[in-house]
């Protein structure tokens, strides 16, 4: 009986013990929920004290009470971006942009988030919108955004535009392997990011990027030597001779044509190379010589707008008005804002007696020209 009593715990003592254990929980349950203003103050304090996880949690709680709080979405998105939580950050910034359309910092940051999660087309759109609205006004921001824009242009197959963007970097930046690699990917028309290459692929693109870097910088002699080294080390690399020809074309079309023809020896089905050979002949007022190249390019890649354009012009200027118009109209469907196509169609419609259609195309040419001028002078 005594042993039993030594192990005995009075039920009242058990109840009291449990009460004190649960007391904080009971108190918390009975405490009134934090107000929106309280949460805002706590979130601000956490952010200013660099307690990023705590700030993210508190901003989220405040936004549940007031989803229209603009600053809350901005701080939540920017803090999530800082912790590499790119998808939630994109969503928070989207909420912010719904409340503050065309907010330049949010557009730029959302574009960077979309880049990180592999959503490349929206990323390019957001970054370019941000740049057009003035995001490049700060030097550091401009470099980050322009570099990502060039990477995204390469990923989405807009290689010539990407090279134009890198042209800005070569005037102000020293050559470094990552920049050369990125330039090489654009130059050799390879739609991937630098991080997607395996180690043994990098040398080709860095070599091509170095030659292109020197050319864009204005070092013609150094570029020539670098391209010759590229051709010797990688004699069968697709688009290497095309790249050199493309860069040479504005200032030395004869040498460019020689490079384009060397490219065809390596890659006979290179549609872009065929387009440039056709274009070179058209600029020399020799549409008969252009026509076979144009036909081959359209045969190889019928959805390539430039192939349809050079074929349409070649047919038009060799007297085949009907088929020329058909190919020019196809080119326009593939690339509606191409000024060269509208100019060629205006000429073709005029020749065929379609005066109203010709007038419409001339007006569109003026509109496109005005839009480009506006973009150039915009901040």
Residue 135 to residues 80, 131, 138, 323, 379, Cα–Cα distance (Å): 21, 5, 7, 45, 8
pLDDT score of 374:
54
pLDDT at res. 375: 52
- pLDDT tens figures, 217-260: 999 999 999 999 999 999 999 999 999 999 999 999 999 999 99
Range in 40-54, 124-138, 285-299 with the lowest mean pLDDT: 124-138
Q: List domains and CATH numbers for the chain.
A: 35-129 (1.25.40.10), 142-268 (1.25.40), 270-369 (1.25.40.10)
Q: How far is 17 from 279, CA to CA, in rounded Å? A: 91
- Over residues 200-220, the pLDDT tens digits come to 899 999 999 999 999 999 999
Is the pLDDT at 76 greater than 60, yes or no?
Answer: yes
Higher-confidence residue: 138 or 344?
344
Q: What integer pLDDT is reported at residue 46 of this predicted model?
A: 94
Q: What is the pLDDT of residue 135?
A: 87
Choose between 25 and 302: higher pLDDT. Answer: 302
pLDDT tens-digit readout, 34-45: 899 999 999 999
Average pLDDT, whole number, for the chain?
Answer: 89
Q: What is the pLDDT of residue 140?
A: 74
20 has pLDDT over 60 = no
Look at residue 250 in the predicted model and tell me its pLDDT: 95
pTM value > 0.85 = no
pLDDT in tens, 155-173: 999 999 999 999 888 877 7
């Amino acid at each position: 009986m005594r042993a039993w009593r030594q192990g005995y715990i009075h039920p009242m003592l058990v109840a009291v013990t449990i009460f004190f254990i649960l007391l904080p929980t009971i108190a918390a349950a009975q405490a009134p929920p934090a107000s929106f203003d309280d949460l805002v103050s706590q979130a601000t304090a956490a952010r200013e004290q660099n307690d990023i996880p705590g700030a993210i949690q508190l901003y989220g709680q405040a936004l549940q009470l007031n989803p229209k709080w603009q600053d809350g979405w901005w701080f939540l998105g920017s803090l999530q971006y800082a912790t590499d939580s790119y998808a939630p950050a994109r969503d928070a910034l989207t909420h912010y942009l719904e409340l503050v359309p065309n907010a330049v910092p949010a557009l730029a940051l959302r574009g960077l988030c979309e880049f990180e999660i592999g959503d490349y087309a929206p990323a390019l759109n957001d970054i370019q919108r941000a740049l057009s609205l003035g995001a490049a006004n700060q030097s550091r921001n401009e470099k980050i955004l322009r570099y990502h824009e060039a990477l995204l242009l390469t990923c989405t197959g807009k290689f010539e535009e990407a090279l134009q963007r890198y042209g800005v970097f070569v005037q102000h930046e020293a050559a470094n392997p990552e920049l050369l690699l990125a330039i090489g990917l654009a130059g050799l028309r390879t739609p991937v990011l630098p991080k997607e290459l395996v180690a043994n692929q990098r040398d080709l693109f860095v070599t091509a990027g170095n030659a292109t870097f020197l050319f864009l910088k204005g070092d013609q002699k150094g570029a020539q030597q670098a391209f010759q080294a590229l051709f010797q080390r990688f004699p069968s690399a697709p688009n290497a001779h095309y790249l050199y020809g493309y860069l040479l074309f504005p200032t030395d079309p004869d040498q460019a044509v020689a490079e384009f023809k060397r490219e065809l020896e390596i890659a006979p089905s290179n549609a872009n190379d065929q387009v440039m050979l056709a274009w070179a002949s058209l600029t020399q007022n020799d549409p008969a010589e252009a026509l076979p190249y144009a036909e081959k390019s359209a045969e190889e890649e019928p959805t390539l707008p430039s192939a349809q354009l050079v074929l349409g012009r070649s047919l038009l200027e060799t007297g085949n008005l009907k088929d020329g118009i058909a190919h020019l109209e196809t080119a326009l469907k593939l690339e509606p804002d191409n000024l060269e196509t509208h100019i060629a169609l205006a000429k073709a419609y005029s020749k065929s007696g379609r005066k109203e259609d010709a007038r419409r195309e001339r007006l569109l040419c003026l509109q496109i020209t005005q839009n480009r001028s506006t973009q150039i002078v915009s901040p």
